[in-house]
Structure 1
Amino acid sequence: MRTVLAVAGLAALAWGGYLLAEFALASTRDAWHAGLWFLGGPIAHDAVIAPVVGAAGLVIATRLPTHWRTPVATGAAATGVLVLLAVPLLWHPLGVPENPGLHDRDYPLGLMIALCLVWAAVVAAGLVAGYRRRRT
C-alpha cells in the first residue's frame, strides 16, 4: 500500500512540476509573480504567522484554566484557517467576469457568521469541560 501511495504521490508531484514549468515558460511576468508567491508565503509564515501563533499558544498555555486551553486553541486554529481562506475574496474585487451563484455572496458577512459559530462552539466546549471537571 505504501508503494502504491508513493508512486501516486510522485506522479502527482511530476505532473505539478510539469504544469509549473509550462506556466513559468509561457510568460516571464507570470514566472516572476509565481516565484514571489512561492517565496512570499514561507517568508510571511516564518516572519509573521509563526511568531504570532507561538505567542498566542504561550498565552493560552499560561493564562487560561486547564479546561479552556484545548477549546480556545482549536478555535484559534479554525479562525486562522477561515481567515486565510477568505483573504483572496476579501482582499480586492474579483478580476474575473461575474459567475452567478459564485461571486454574488457577501463574503465578509459569511466570514463573520462562520467565526461566530466557531467561537460559540468554543464557549460551549469550554463550559462543558468545566462542568465535567467540577463534577469529577
Structure 2
Amino acid sequence: MKTARALLALPGLAALAWGVVLFVEYAFPLRPDVIGTVSWIVAGPLLNDGVVVPLTAVLGIILARVLPHPWRVPVVTGTVITGVLLILAFPLLWRPYGTPPMPGLHDGNPALGLALTLAAVWLLVVLTALLRRVVPPNTRDAPPITREARPITRDAPPDTRTDPPGTPADPPGTRTDRPGT
C-alpha cells in the first residue's frame, strides 16, 4: 500500500515542482503585477477558508436546526451549491474580462447567467422538498414482500395464521400439520 501511495504521489509532486519553476520564472525580477499575482494566490484560499466556508457551514447548521424535516437536506444542498457558484462566478462579476478570454464566455452577461443558474437550483430545491413532503420516504417497519412472507394482518397476533395450512402462503417443503392442531 505504501508503494502505491508513493507511486500516486510522485506525479503530483512533479507537477507541483514544475509549477514552482514556472512561477519563479514569471516572478523574477519583481514587478508590480507579480505582487498582485502573489496577493491573489495567497488571498484567494485565505478568503475562501476564512470567510466563505465558515459562513456556509454556519448557515447550513442553522438551516438544519430551523427547517422542518422534508426541507432540511434540499435547502442545505442548495445553499452549498449557491456558495460554490458564487465562488466560481466571482472573477467575472468582480471585473469585466476577469478570466482569460475563451470563445463564447464573454459574449453573455455573467450576472444574468448566475441569476438564471441560481433560479434553476432553487427551483429544484423547492420541487425536491415538496416531493419529499407529498411522498413520504419508505419506512422499514414492514418486512419485505416476498412469496415466502406470510400475509400481514392488523387484527391477529404475529404468531397466529389467518389462512388454512397448505395454502400458497406456505413455502414449498414445509410441514402443514402442526402438533396440537
Over 3 Å counting, the alpha-carbon distance change for 1:26 and 1:84 in structure 2 is same
Contact 2:70–2:132 (CA<8 Å) still a contact in 1? yes
* Corresponding residue for residue 135 of structure 2: 132
Gaps spanning 5+ residues in structure 1: where?
Answer: none
Paired position in structure 2 for 1:94: 97
In the superposition, the TM-score normalised over structure 1's length comes to 0.82
Q: 1:102 to 1:55 in 2, by over 3 A?
A: closer
Aligned-pair distance for 1:57?
1.7
Residue 36 of structure 2 is aligned to residue 13 of structure 1: no
Normalising by structure 2, report the TM-score: 0.64
Residue 17 to residue 118, structure 1, CA distance change in 2 (3 Å): same
Q: Which has the larger radius of gyration?
A: 2
How many pairs does the alignment contain? 136
Higher relative contact order (CA 8 A, sep 6+): 1
Q: CA RMSD in A?
A: 2.6
Whether 2:65 is the aligned partner of 1:73: answer no
Q: Which moved more, 1:17-26 or 1:38-47?
A: 38-47
Structure 2 residue 146 is the aligned partner of structure 1 residue 120: no
Which is helix-richer, 1 or 2? 1
The percent of aligned pairs where both chains have the same amino acid is 43
Task: Tell me the amino acid that sits aligned with residue 41 of structure 1.
Answer: G
**Pairwise CA distance, 1:96:** 8.8
Q: Which consecutive segments of 4 or more residues in structure 1 shift more than 4 A?
A: 95-100
The match for 2:33 among 30, 54, 77 is 30
Structure 2 unmatched runs, 5+: 140-181
